[in-house]
Amino acid sequence: MTLLLAGLVAAICAYQAASFGEVAFFRPENLSNVAQRVGILGIYAIGAGITIICGGIDLSIGSIIGFVGVVMAMTVGAFGMNPWLVALGCVILCAGLGFWHGFLIGRFNLQPFVVTLCTLLLLRGLARGLSGGISQKLDGFSTLGNGSFLHVPIPFWILIAIALIVGFFMNFTIYGRYLYAIGRNAEAARYSGVRVNRVRTGAYVTCAVLSGIAGVVSISYTGEVQPASAGLMFEMWAIAAAVLGGCSLRGGEGSVLGIIIGAALIKVMYNGINLIGISTEWEWAVIGVVILGGVVADAAYRRRAAGKAKE
Amino acid sequence: MKAITKRFPGVVALDRVDLELYEGEILGLIGENGAGKSTLMRILGGDYPPDGGTISISGEPVRIRDVRHAISLGISVIYQELNLAGNLDIASNIFLGREPRRGPFGIVDRRRLYSRAKELADRVGISSPPTTLVQELSPGEQQLVEVAKALSMDARILVLDEPTSSLSLAEVRKLFEVMRSLQKQNVSMIYISHRLAEVQEICDRVVVLRDGLRAGALERAGGPGLDREEMVRMMVGREISRFFPGHGERGESEILLSVRRFRPSGGKADISFDLHAGEVLGVAGLVGSGRTELVRSLFGIEPPEHGEITVMGKTSHVRGASDAIRLGMGFVPEDRQRLGVILEMAVAENISLPSIGTYRPPFLDRKRELRDAARMVEALDIKTPSLAQQVQFLSGGNQQKVALGKWLALDPRILILDEPTRGIDVGSKSEIYKLVRKLADRGVGVIMVSSELEEIIGLADRVLVMHEGRCAGILDSDQISEQNIMLLATGAGGPTT
């Protein structure tokens, strides 16, 4: 996958060098722009990745981002509340939502797909209902999304911080190991004494919290939120990034670094399509084909690796 | 059927077995697990061809090619696991794939479908209308749907493999009534069962298989009749091989686990027993007698209905496997590949899964993990190219050693083994027996569930025998014999010394 990313960047550069005689991709403002977007996508893609690794899925990401945006804009804009406090409140609310998902999935043995699909619908409806469907503005809270530190956009720093924390959990604590075990075979993990429901709930809490953080960064970045479209389809981009980054929807596979590379791939592709001059209407078609190609190549590679391990 | 022989890689499942079935007869076919009953019936039903011998129907020799051919010859086999589509109704199940059709497009003739289904349902005594979904029927009625399906194919020979194992008493009565009325219509039946009382009641004649051989036959009308003790004697009656490491010397040792008025999840009766340090307690019983349910509840996988267990003097409620582990218990489940190990994970990761939480939580101590895993691989002689090898690429015996090793790494006081040698080769079997004995000698209390009587007798110091969800009795070392275990397990009577 890293190879694919490098290849993609190289292809974009080569094309540009050939046709325009200069490489727009490496212009500082372009790089910073890409990093900013990779940062936001990366944050919630890690969330999605964790639920996928433990054998589940979370479809509510996009709606959480939209909902958080609406709540932030409305409370801060209309009542003049402190945006940082509201942001904190939103993230805590998201944690509660994650607990709720984990509870329903563990206690009632519901399918994660269905549970989070309902949240997707519920929160989108709430966002539109509460705002009356009218676009909401949030002024004076743009640093988080648009500022930069040491010439690197703040969203990217946030991504790095989150990746380090989550990566540490996944690799250096027993919970990471439990998560992979549950993703591979939840019943066998239970027979080995793993508290499956608790660990799995942790994954959904993490995903919801990261979505909430992404929502805060997102509204700060745009400064305005369209209740009907903010965050729409974001869960699909998150899943695509996770899968591109090596997560298997069968569970038990994937890594934080892989997910970030997957997120980078998607945003670089977007950027490349723009730079090359393909009209934006074609974006999805191009990305769809590239993702499919990447996944097929990955499957073929694994098949060969598995064949070798057998010998 | 004459001189039927069937070999599988490594074993002779059937060795020149003769079986004769007369018109309008109900023939009982009995034998221990693995005696060859099911193999014989699968050959008759066309599931696989025999390696030798001939089958004749009404005096005509036939070669049964496949299931379809067997059906066209009037042979229908109803297996223990019913072959019904629960989401379809009775009529559709009876005629599945053979629905009456009409018109040029082969549209299903629903009127004929339901009227013919009604006829058949009446014949076997199904009271529900043919439009009822099969999943809404009781197990007994589902069984009758299978019988109706067989009749719809004009079966003259009907094989029923353990038909009563999931039926209530009333449903068994109903099935027997149906069988008797079919008998009057000259249908011949082969009835396979472990429940000797039922065999005694319904069958005209009984053929006993043992280790792939015909051990003998009994007739209602001649000799001792259908005597249960005689049946048991014919089913067992073989030498136990010197394959086992022998028994322990159990003096007055400490009680590790004491189970009182304990009712496993879904169980029918309370069970009480003690487990001493250094003993192997065998748990015997027929398939479906509640052995697995008992140990699963003990380990907290399914919480028990009620009852308490006392581990080393402390009464505890085990609400999950993690509680049981904290009390010093380990559990190697029956289904190794699905529950015992995680196939796609490394040997080391599998071995350490129950113990990583005890190292240095919440951190993962990889060094200690690898050290522990290496220790287990060596102690159990697990054949693997590396600790990082995925368990799925190991042989069955080595997979089972991994499933054992993950508990031994924790130094358990109580180890529960459910069918620890199922499906593994003879060499690994004997290694596991030695290991179990060694553990017991070190003071571990072992509970071993097994369907192989040989293994129970060869290894266990005491045997708890289950029968239909109840503890039928606990045999002390001087009472352990195949005959006594089978008497208790089949509900035929108490032990004789």
Q: Which has more confidence, A30 or A49? A: A49
Of all residues in chain A, the one with the smallest CA distance to B407 is A192
A305 in contact with B, Cβ within 8 Å: no
B236 in reach of chain A (CB within 8 A): no
Minimal Cβ distance to A173: which of B333, B353, B363: B363
Gap from A55 CA to chain B (nearest CA, Å) = 14
B205 touching A (Cβ < 8 Å): no
B477 DSSP 8-state letter: G
Averaged pLDDT, A201-220: 96
**Structure confidence by residue, pLDDT tens digits, A80-131:** 788 999 999 999 999 999 999 999 999 999 999 999 999 999 999 999 999 9
- pTM for the full model? 0.77
Q: Which sign, positive or negative, has the C-alpha torsion B336, B339, B341, B344?
A: positive
pLDDT computed for residue A22 by the predictor = 65
What does the pLDDT read at residue B243? 62
- CA B298 to CA B450: how far, in whole Å? 16
**Whole-number pLDDT of residue B151:** 86
- pLDDT at position B468: 85
Q: B339 touching A, CB under 8 A?
A: yes
Please judge whether B322 and A194 are an interchain contact, meaning their C-beta atoms are less than 8 angstroms apart.
yes
Asked if B374 is an interface residue toward chain A (Cβ–Cβ < 8 A), one would say no
Q: What is the pLDDT of residues A134-173, one digit of tens each?
A: 888 888 888 898 888 998 999 999 999 999 999 999 999 9
pLDDT at B110: 87
Chain A hits for B404, Cβ within 8 Å: none
More confident residue, A191 or B51: A191
What string of DSSP letters covers A260-310? HHHHHHHHHHHHHHHHHT--GGGHHHHHHHHHHHHHHHHHHHHHHHHHHHH
Q: What is the pLDDT of residue B239?
A: 46
- The verdict on B406 touching A (C-beta cutoff 8 Å) is yes
Checking if the pLDDT of A310 tops 60, the result is no
| Residue B215, CA distances (Å) to A215, B19, B202, B495 in order | 76, 11, 21, 23
Res B242: pLDDT: 47
CA distance B356 to chain A (A): 7
Q: What does pLDDT average to in each consecutive run of 10 residues of chain B (497 residues)? A: 71 82 91 78 86 86 87 86 84 86 83 89 85 85 87 89 77 87 90 85 90 84 74 68 63 83 87 92 87 92 88 86 92 90 94 91 91 94 90 86 94 93 74 91 93 86 91 90 87 69
Residues 109-138, chain A, touching B (beta carbon < 8 A):
none
Q: Spell out which residues of chain A touch residue B297, defining contact as CB-CB under 8 Å.
A: none
User: What is the C-alpha to C-alpha distance for residues B263 and B270, in angstroms, rounded to an integer?
Assistant: 5
Strands (E), B268-413: 271-276, 280-285, 306-311, 314-316, 329-332
Mean pLDDT of chain A: 89
Cβ–Cβ below 8 Å for B320 and A187: no
Chain A nearest-CA residue for B406: A192
Chain pair A-B, CB pairs under 8 angstroms: 73
CB of A252 within 8 Å of a chain B CB? The answer is yes
- Per the rule left: phi > 0, alpha: psi between -120 and 50, beta: everything else, B346 is beta
Do the bridges between strand B271-276 and strand B255-263 make them parallel or antiparallel, or are there none, so unpaired? antiparallel
CB contact under 8 A, B393 and A173: no
Cis peptide before B100 (omega within 30 of 0): no
CA angle B229/B233/B237 to nearest 5° reads 160
What is the rounded CA–CA span in Å between residue B457 and residue B461? Answer: 8
* Amino acid in position B252: E
State whether the Cα torsion A272-A273-A276-A277 is positive or negative: negative
pLDDT at residue B35, as a whole number:
77
B323 close to B316: Cβ distance less than 8 angstroms: yes
ipTM rounded to 2 decimals: 0.86
pLDDT of residue B13: 77
